[in-house]
Amino acid sequence: MKRDEILHGMLCDRALRFAAIDGTQLVRDAQKTHSLSRVATAALGRQLMMTSVIASLCKNTTDTVSTVIAGSGPAGNLVCVGRNGGLVKGYASNPGTELPLREDGKLDVRGYVGLPGKLTVIRDLGLKEPYVGMSNLISGEIAEDFAQYFTASEQQPSIVYLGVRENAADGYVKGAGGLLIQAMPNCPDEAIDRVMDVAEQIPSLGVRLAEGETLEPILKDLFSTLDADFTNRMTPAFSCDCSRERLERALISIGRKELEELIEQDGKAELTCQFCGKAYQFDRASLEALLIEATDNGGTDE
Ligand SMILES: [Zn+2]
């Protein structure tokens, strides 16, 4: 089985940069983890891949990128978090909702997401405050919405392609891929024209990944007239970084009073990570230990 990968590089004498992803396996893993319907697989899969790509472009290993698509359709919220090297996790509020196919036979991602809505991108770069950008959804098909976000909120004109190809019968993910192309500062118009000349061939990326090809030869064909220079290679994955310690901190932060009530009324707690479904059990003794910490920390005392 071929592994997922992300490739970074430059085009047209370094006038533009690109980041491309083969996310076939990570979309399969997300589908399995959350029992995603076909339309949810397409929607969350596209967002997971873009989040992974944005995270892969971050400079520091501790940087994280969260993306939230909050439309008005049955999906509810779609939430993804990417971290170093393109590792990504995510969930949909309503993962099992299925919609009828569109008239052209395609999955109705726009209907699942629903307009109007917002795309929020939160970049946590380890500074005092995270950088939060937001734009209105313009299509609900996700790639166009990210392109609009980059242009409107980050002043970074971009081409975004995201594709998840599934078997019509059972939703098996045959291939999933994405591509981001961004102009560097002072990019000459002539370079943008050259890229636009190949733009309509970009969807061949998804088709060829679904046929089992690997990313690099596909990109070399696609960029054959653009002097592509490959600079970086990473292995993205659908992976959760939750831990018992993280959930302990969450329990401590609900406040001393609530924690005392929880111990008194239930004597135990089970917390489930919404990103991966893993359940963590806390018995009375461990809750009482957390209560001491909540007291000692002082931060949650009233
Ligand atoms: Zn988790």
Q: What is the pLDDT of residue 2?
A: 84
Positive or negative, the CA dihedral 109, 110, 112, 113 is: positive
Cβ–Cβ under 8 Å, residues 52 and 165: no
For residue 200, report the distance from its CA to the centre of ligand 1, in Å.
38
Instruction: Dig out the tokens for 263 from the structure.
Output: 């111990």
DSSP 8-state class, residue 101: P
Calculate the alpha carbon distances from 140 to 117, 118, 126, 153 in Å: 8, 10, 31, 17
For residue 275, report the distance from its CA to the centre of ligand 1, in Å.
5
Instruction: Dig out the tokens for 206 from the structure.
Output: 């998804």
Q: Which residues of the chain have pLDDT under 50?
A: 297-302
pLDDT in tens, 85-119: 999 999 999 999 999 999 999 999 999 999 999 99
- DSSP H or E run through 215: helix 215-222
Cβ–Cβ under 8 Å, residues 120 and 126: no
CATH classification number, 5-238, choose in 3.30.565.10, 3.55.30.10, 2.40.30.10, 3.10.20.600: 3.55.30.10
Q: Which residues fall inside 5 Å of ion ligand 1, going by CB?
A: 240, 242, 273, 275-276, 278
Phi/psi at 191 (nearest 5 deg)? -70, -40
Fold of 244-297: CBS domain Like (3.90.1280)
For residue 81, report the distance from its CA to the centre of ligand 1, in Å.
11
Instruction: Dig out the tokens for 232 from the structure.
Output: 């970086």
For residue 242, report the distance from its CA to the centre of ligand 1, in Å.
4
Domain ranges of the chain: 5-238, 244-297
Q: What is the pLDDT of residue 242?
A: 95
Instruction: Dig out the tokens for 26 from the structure.
Output: 């990570």
With both helix axes pointing from N to C terminus, report the angle between 244-253 and 284-297 in degrees, rounded to the nearest 10. 60
Phi/psi at 152 (nearest 5 deg)? -80, -40
For residue 271, report the distance from its CA to the centre of ligand 1, in Å.
10
Reported pTM: 0.93
For residue 277, report the distance from its CA to the centre of ligand 1, in Å.
6
pLDDT in tens, 143-152: 999 999 999 9
For residue 281, report the distance from its CA to the centre of ligand 1, in Å.
14
Q: How far apart are CA 297 and CA 302, in angstroms?
A: 12
User: Could you tell me which residues are beta bridge partners of residue 182?
Assistant: 17, 158
The residue whose two tokens read 């726009």 is 110
Calculate the alpha carbon distances from 44 to 75, 113, 118, 138, 301 in Å: 9, 10, 15, 17, 39
Cis? peptide before 130, omega within 30° of 0: no
Q: What is the pLDDT of residue 1?
A: 75
Q: What is the pLDDT of residue 294?
A: 82
Phi/psi at 151 (nearest 5 deg)? -70, -50
For residue 27, report the distance from its CA to the centre of ligand 1, in Å.
16
Phi/psi at 285 (nearest 5 deg)? -60, -45
What is the signed CA dihedral for 217, 47, 73, 207, rounded to 10 degrees? Answer: 10
